[in-house]
Amino acid sequence: MELLEEIDNRRSCRSLRDHRFTDEEVTLLLRAACAAPSSKNRQAWKIMPACGRDLGLLADVFERAVDDRHSRGLLSDGEHAGCVSTARIMREAPLGLIVFTDPVGTVESRQQSVGAMMESMCLQAEHMGLSTLWVCDILDAREECEGLLHQEGLSAMLLVGEGKDDGRRAMHKEPGEVIVDFPGEHRLERFEKNE
């Protein structure tokens, strides 16, 4: 399959079926993470694999914390509903890769480095015929989740499993929609705009 086809096929999956992960499969995902580019090649991340009961425990702590924030008016109804749905998906997912970052460099460079690493794992999973959900909702309960996990620097989580395709596709922009012209005389005319 063409690389672009695999990139295009990747979709966030919110219904992850059980999958019995082998050590080799988890290692392949971690190798993809380790191959990602990072700011100053710091690779300032750690990944905690979690499954089954442990992932359920994290989902419980997360959901209790967001319920509490919602009842205190710190989360909107919509944000709360999204978090409750994420907690359900976490309980069903066979594997969660929880990502922590060290506080080095600028916030932006850390965020971009983690983003590159997460996408690398998403694409490797896609290549292995698995589906993923990239989760940042857990950051709404960062302190509580970090407390449970005895780690600081919680940044994201990747849920991985066998996806039930519900046929829904998020709309993605066309290349022509993301281009802004370089100012002045020297803009690159050879890129055709898709207007």
Ligand X SMILES: Cc1cc2nc3c(=O)[nH]c(=O)nc-3n(C[C@H](O)[C@H](O)[C@H](O)COP(=O)(O)O)c2cc1C
Residues that bind ligand X (CB under 6 A): 11-12, 14, 86, 133-137, 170
Count Cβ neighbours within 10 Å for each residue of 145-166 and write b for 16 or more, e otherwise: beebbeeebbbbbbbbbebeee
- Read off φ and ψ for residue 98, nearest 5 degrees: -95, 130
Is residue 190 within 8 A of residue 171, CB to CB? The reply is: no
| Rounded Cα distance, 168 and 119, in Å | 20
